[in-house]
Each structure stands twice: as structure tokens, then as C-alpha cells.
Amino acid sequence: MGNKADVWQGTLALMVLKTLETMGSLHGYGIARRIEQTSGDLLSLNYGTLYPALLKLEQEGYITSSWGASENNRRAKYYELTRAGKKQVKKEAADWEQTTAILARFLAPAEEA
């Protein structure tokens, strides 16, 4: 079971928002590592996908960015949630819970007649 799964379509934004909600301000590499760690290293995060997602979330007003120094004293862009982002993470989490509840109905064993 050494193969890592790709991040599911439509879930990266929620994972990024939830990570920032939980951890506070992080740089892109820190966000990626935290998502992989939280998945138990079962997800494979394509860094070429992460940065466009961060840009999109910033353009939508859900996160802001600022430059700072990383742990190893390199220049890094740090991201944090905005007020709109805090509302969005709650909305997306509720939407995801509803979606998984619907899918669970399809995956549940059929009742015998």
C-alpha cells in the first residue's frame, strides 16, 4: 500500500482553508506538508496544483498573503485566513459533510427485502 492517492477534485481548497484555520499563518510548503501529514501521508499533493489554488483563494478574498522569513531564514510567502475565509471554511465543510452523507447512502449495503 505504498501508493499515495491524489487529492480529490474539489477538496484542495477546503483542505487549505481548514489547515490555515487550524494552524494559523503558514507558507505554501508548510501547508502542503501539513495536508500530507494530516492524511497520514496517504495523499500525494502536487505542488503545481497547490500554488494556483492558493492564488485562486487569495483572489476570491478567502486568504491573504505576506512575505516573511521561513524557519531556515529564507524568504517565503505566508498565507492566512480572512474573515470571509473563516465563513467559507464553515460553508465548505458543511457542504462536504452533506455530500459524504449522500454518498454513504449509496455505499451502504442494500437491505434485503
**Closest of 22, 42, 47, 20 to residue 32, by C-alpha:** 47
**How many domains does one find in the chain?**
1
Provide the Cα torsion 93, 23, 45, 37; round to 10°: -100
Looking at the domain assignment, is residue 112 inside a domain? no
Look up the CATH number of the domain holding residue 78: 1.10.10.10
- What is the C-alpha radius of gyration for the chain, rounded to an integer number of angstroms? 16
pLDDT computed for residue 112 by the predictor: 52
Please state the pTM of the whole predicted model: 0.86
Whether 30 maps to a domain, the answer reads: yes
Residue 80 within a domain:
yes
Q: Is residue 40 part of a domain?
A: yes
113 in a structural domain = no
How does pLDDT run across 60-104, given as a tens digit for each residue? 999 999 999 988 999 999 999 999 999 999 999 999 999 999 999
Supply the range of the domain harboring residue 40.
5-107
CA atoms within 13 A on the CB side of 82: 14
